[in-house]
Amino acid sequence: MPPEQETALKQDEMQDKFSDTEIVVKIDPYNQNERDLFRAHKRVPALQVKYSDSNWLLNNPVDDLVGPDQTLILTEWEDGDKLLGRDPDDVFDRLMELEEHVDIAFLGDRWTYEVMTPRQNRKQIMRSVEAQKYLFHRFEEVNADFELRPTILGWKSWHLERNRPLVKLMGGPVGFDATGYRSKYELAKDVNRVIDVLGAEVYINGRIGPTHLEYMPSEVCAFSGKSALLKETKVGDEFSRDLLDSSVEKRLQAVNDSQTELRQFFDQIAGD
């Protein structure tokens, strides 16, 4: 099979992983309680590990973390101090060490804030874009057996336009970090803008509250979180896998509620 057909086939297979809106649970592999709660749980199709915790995957049986039917996602959505000085070549080497275990990766995170100047935000976005393009081509050269998906930075239309080369190169869904949002209205507005500008499905990182999920458009294919699940499933000093069923279900019901009229409303106010 020609290489380009192999690439297309692999992308089609990975797209199926987000064919329906899914919950992804962030997990600290060093935490035994979290491993016991989330590993191989039938309502948790995917687990997400931070790059800075990926050393655990090298030194422990990965089957102790990820069940046979669960997808493993590795990301660089982390605090800025952990991203400073990180070398893309080191990221490449680590992912290749974990190639047989990682299914999807969202890499190249930097930071964009409203308090920063347009020049500062542009610099961070372009550093992210160039790092992701570099890593994509390196992984492509060795035919790496996992999917690299775009990490999108920014929230204004001109921010998002600068991420367009990533979508053209990698396709979607695109990863959007929502950990800094508190307003469900602002989050919905900015997520809709990502969809309108880039024309891609969105994976929302760090927003798992049902009230936020109710405002998400149908183009949101997955969302991630953890802390609320831990609070809702804790019984005394332990965590209940049975209680996790209902916690996941109410979130899936919230994100799948019909929001057609709301989407139209946010489309009208989505200008910068």
pLDDT at 114 over 50: yes
pLDDT, greater one: 233 or 83 = 233
Tens of pLDDT, residue by residue over 41-71, are: 999 999 999 999 999 999 999 999 999 999 9
| Average pLDDT along the chain | 88
pLDDT at 206 over 80: yes
| pLDDT at residue number 249 | 95
CA distance 212 to 4: 39
pLDDT at 3 over 80: no
Tens of pLDDT, residue by residue over 139-149, are: 999 999 999 99
Q: Which of 108, 38, 73 is nearest to 223 (CA)?
A: 73
CA distance 81 to 99: 26
| pLDDT at residue number 266 | 52
pTM of the model: 0.87
Q: What percent of the chain has pLDDT over 90?
A: 77
CA distance 89 to 40: 32
pLDDT, greater one: 129 or 112 = 129
pLDDT at 2 over 60: no
| pLDDT at residue number 13 | 44
Q: Which of 23, 18, 29 is nearest to 43 (CA)?
A: 23
